[in-house]
Structure 1
Amino acid sequence: MPSALSVNLRERVVAAIEAGASRRQAAKRFGVWAASAVRWVGSRRAHAVALEGPVRTMPQLATEAERSYEQL
């Protein structure tokens, strides 16, 4: 299971968006889902904080060991 992303990363994504990057551009630059970037910006605007809680990173190609483990 992927670990939660740091609040620092979330704040950097939001800062990039506020500096003029699109949500998709910022998400791609930092390797997170665009939907997460949208949520974080909305949360920042509504509550003045980046959304806290676990968020998955973009999926990576599974290794052979991971695929065999998932089939168990």
Structure 2
Amino acid sequence: MGRGRSGVMAACYLVRFKDMTPERAVSEIRLIRPNSIETPEQERSIIRYFDCLRGTASAQIQAIEDDTERFNKL
């Protein structure tokens, strides 16, 4: 239906490339497409992504991000 996961990806795009906070990105997506980002877990995933970008994520999440970055350089 293009609301849950698609909304999360669109919000992550806004966080990364438009320098929005996770809360503002979620609001913007919901203004464009009501009921997007359907669950609290989806909202938390956007916040975790933001934390990874800032380097303030938990050690476990940061390790996954570091591994992904190393993989992308291959």
Q: Common fold, TM-score beyond 0.5?
A: no
Higher relative contact order (CA 8 A, sep 6+): 1
State the structure with more CA Rg. Answer: 1
TM norm structure 1: 0.40
Query: TM-score normalised to the size of structure 2?
Result: 0.40
